[in-house]
Every structure is written in structure tokens, then in C-alpha cells.
Amino acid sequence: MAQYTNGFDSYQVFYYSGAAQFQAVIQVYASGVFNGRIGFYPDGGPVIPNGEIQPLGVKTPAINYSLSRFQAVMGMLRFEKPLYIYLDTGTGVGFLGTAQPEPVGEQEGK
């Protein structure tokens, strides 16, 4: 079983239309290197379990949410840093997290 704690500094968003499995995908990168994927599935339908993918021959984490979580995830990407994507393949638990403690009220007064 593997655990991933992959930091990233950039992302790319794909919002799908038509007959696609995903509704949206966010790919994350560290210094331009693909480092993980966040997938979004239709609300009310099954969300594929978190796991590993190998689009470039190297295993990376893939975590998944319902589409209704898309704006919350995008908010983290827009306003927080540093960030990382986490996956424990033994438990299937994955998340997007801040890499260090954040000051309380940092957005106050801006």
C-alpha cells in the first residue's frame, strides 16, 4: 500500500460536455510535472473510488468528488498555498490540503 503527499504549484482545469465519464477534471503539477488528478462526477451518481493512475507511466494519486464540491476545491486552489494532494491507497482516503497551518482571518480586511 502506498501513501502520496504530492505538493503542487500549478493546475489545469477541464470542464466536460457531452458523453464523458467526468464532469470536470483538475490536473495538478509540480514544476511542470504532472503530480495528480482531481475528478468530479455527476451529483447523485456514483463517485469512482480514489486510487492511482499512470497516464505517463508513473503512479500518481487520483482523488474524486461529486460535482457539487467543484467550487469549494477551486476556492482552495485560488486562495491557498502551498497545497498538496494526498492519497492512502490502503484506506482509499484522499484529500486536498494546505501544506502548513494557515493564519486565522488572513482574508479579513482585504
Q: How confident is the model over 38-54, as pLDDT tens digits? A: 999 999 889 999 999 99
Question: How many residues are listed for the chain in this entry?
Answer: 110
- Give 29 or 99, the one with higher predicted confidence: 29
* pLDDT at position 107 over 80: no
**Set of cell numbers at residue 98:** 494546505
Lowest mean pLDDT, pick from 22-26, 55-59, 93-97: 55-59
pTM, to two decimals: 0.91
- Where in the chain are the domains? 3-98
Count Cβ atoms within 10 A of the Cβ of residue 50 and give its class: 0-12 exposed, 13-18 middle, 19 or more buried: buried
Cα–Cα distance for residue pair 13/28, rounded to 1 Å: 9
